[in-house]
Amino acid sequence: MDDYGTDIPARDSTMRVVDLTLLLAEELPGTWPTHMSYQQKTSNYFTDVDDQTSALRATDGPYQTRWLLIDEHTGTHFDAPAHFIPEPKTGLPHAAEIGTVTAEQIPLTQFIGPAVVIDIPQDLPGSAPGVSPTITQEFLTAWERNNGELSVGDIVLFRTGWDRYYLPGGAGLDYCFRALVTRDGPGWPAPDARAMHHLIDRGVRCVGTDGVSMGSSHDGAGVHYAGLEAGAVFIEALGHLDELPVKGAFFCFAPLKVARGSGAPGRAFAWVPDSDRQKVG
C-alpha cells in the first residue's frame, strides 16, 4: 500500500475542527439493511435497578459499561480492499493479491490529507425508485475545469447531502431501506466505475461520501472493484460535509484497528480554516 506523507495542521486559533461522523444509535439507520442490526446493552450499572423495560444490575462493580453488537460497515466506516476483492487462492472472479489487505493493514496516512469536496447537485440525472443517480467521469472532468485538476494524495469527498435522511425511526427509512429493500424510494448519488478509474488515474487513493455507500443502490459492485482493486479505500456514510469548503480543509479518518477486517467504523473529522466559516454552503 502507498504511504503518503502528510503535514497535520498545527493547533491554533486559525483552525477549527469539524466532526464528520454520524451518530450511532439503535434508532438510527446506520446499518446496511440486510446486515445484523446495531445493538447496545448495559451489561453493568452502578446499582441494581428493577424496571419492566430494562432491568439493570451491578454485579461487576460500581460503574456502567455496555456491550455492542456491530457490523464492520456500520455508521461512518471505511472499506478495505478485502471487502470486495477475494484472495488469489480462492480463484474467484476479481481475486488478486490486494484482496489479502484487511483493515488493520491500511496505513493511517492513507486516511489523512487535503480534502477536496465535490458538490453533487440534487437534480443529478438517473434517480428512480431503487436506483441511484450516477456521478460520471464527464461530471468529474467538468468539475475539474472549474475547480482545478485533482492531485496525488487528495482525499475526494462527494457532498451529496444524503445525510439529511439520517433520522430516527420511520423518518430514517429514506436513508437506505426504501432504496434497497422496498425499492420504492430513490438511491443516493454514487460514482460509476469509469468515474472511479478517473480518480485512481489522478492518484487519489481515499474517496469518501456522505451517501450510504460508494456503490449505487442498484449496482454497487462495479465501483468497489474499480477502486479497491487499485488499493484505494472508501469512507462511507459521512456527515456534515456542508461545513467544509471545496478546498482548504485537512481531513482525517481514524478507524478501529480490526484484525482481518473487511473495513471498520471510525471517527471522521477535518481541520477547517476559520476564515472559511462563511464560505461553506
pLDDT band at residue 279, thresholds of 50, 70 and 90? Answer: very low
- Tell me what percent of the residues of the chain surpass a pLDDT of 70: 93
How far, CA to CA in Å, does 69 sit from each of 23, 211, 220?
A: 15, 23, 25
Predicted structure pTM score: 0.93
| Domains located in the chain, CATH noted | 15-36+71-276 (3.50.30.50), 38-70 (no CATH)
Radius of gyration of the chain (CA): 20
The mean per-residue pLDDT over the stretch 181-198 comes to 98
Cell of 161: 447531502
CB count within 10 Å of CB 244 equals 23
pLDDT band at residue 274, thresholds of 50, 70 and 90? Answer: confident
How far, CA to CA in Å, does 114 sit from each of 15, 149, 172?
A: 14, 14, 31
- pLDDT tens track for 97-109: 999 999 999 999 9
Angle value at C-alpha 227, between 201 and 206, nearest 5 degrees: 80
Q: Any idea how long the chain is?
A: 281
How far, CA to CA in Å, does 218 sit from each of 77, 83, 229?
A: 21, 18, 21
- pLDDT tens track for 230-241: 999 999 999 999
pLDDT band at residue 204, thresholds of 50, 70 and 90? Answer: very high
pLDDT band at residue 12, thresholds of 50, 70 and 90? Answer: low
Give the pLDDT score at 276.
Answer: 55
